[in-house]
Amino acid sequence: MFRKVMSEVDIKQNLKLVVGKIEEAFRKRSPSLQTEKPYLVAVSKTKPAELVVEAYSAGQRHFGENYVQELVEKSHNPELLEKCKDIKWHFIGHLQSNKVNKVLAVPGLYMIETVDSVNLATAINKAWEKFRKEETENLKVLVQVNTSAEDVKSGIDPKEAINLYKTYEDFIALMQCYDEIVKELQLNPRELHVSMGMSNDYEHAIAAGSTIVRVGTSIFGARTPKSDAK
């Protein structure tokens, strides 16, 4: 019991600090940038469901998971289902087409942030129509762009971002993609989200124009290595 209470206090304090830094970075952002005010996605990968509940009780609503199986297990956790009824799950890991159905069946799914091909976008769209016929809103997705051209990173080439957006982390390069999409498709700048920035650089990402920042370590502490995680 003592350990759980201490953990809760730490998470609440960490969230307060992170949110404060987000607010401050947004206040300092150049008024020439027209992107929306950023919001926080708490990355809970490798962390137990109890810590998600604690963060939720402290006011956090958006949570991100990298691994499909971990997202499925946490989202169906009985305690979490009971105490976190307004949770908003973001899938932020690489998504294979054969795992789409599992992700779309997640209760509280809010956004898939890693659509990196037309084939994946098509698979998600078809599955969404099948699994979520009663939904009143469309599923929110983000196009994942590999701005550094590194083979080990997922995402499409920046030159292909507009084509993928039509069918469905370098900050400067990503914001250039954002500007091109807004201009060519004549979109409202405030209706298009840009997700960039993590624990070590989210303040700089906000200054560049990010509208979604994903922070894990600064909230939940160091992560358990993947091989040791469930």
Residue 45's domain is classified under what CATH number?
3.20.20.10
The answer to the question of residue 50 being in a domain is: yes
**pLDDT tens string 85-123:** 999 999 999 999 999 999 999 999 999 999 988 899 999
Helix or strand holding residue 5 (H, E): helix 2-28
Q: Which two tokens stand for residue 147?
A: 């701005």
Under 8 Å CB-to-CB from 73, ≥6 apart: which residues?
49, 230
The answer to the question of residue 51 being in a domain is: yes
> How far is CA 135 from its chain centroid?
20
Is 42:216 a contact under the CB 8 Å cutoff? yes
The answer to the question of residue 1 being in a domain is: no
The answer to the question of residue 109 being in a domain is: yes
Rg for the chain (alpha carbons), in Å? 18
Residue 24's pLDDT is: 97
The answer to the question of residue 205 being in a domain is: yes
**pLDDT tens string 176-221:** 888 988 899 899 988 889 898 899 899 999 999 999 999 999 999 9
Q: Which two tokens stand for residue 136?
A: 């009143």
- What is the number of structural domains in the chain? 1
Q: Which domain holds residue 215?
A: 11-148+155-219
The answer to the question of residue 2 being in a domain is: no
SS3 186: coil
pLDDT band at 49 (very low <50, low <70, confident <90, very high): very high
The answer to the question of residue 4 being in a domain is: no
Residue 224's pLDDT is: 67
Is 108:75 a contact under the CB 8 Å cutoff? yes
Residue 15, φ and ψ in degrees, nearest 5: -60, -40
Entry pTM: 0.83
Rounded-to-5 percentages of helix, strand, coil across the chain: 50, 15, 35
pLDDT (average), residues 118-137: 80
Tell me the Ramachandran region of residue 209: left when phi exceeds 0, alpha when psi lies from -120 to 50, beta otherwise: left
C-alpha closest to that of 15 among 84, 87, 63, 68: 63
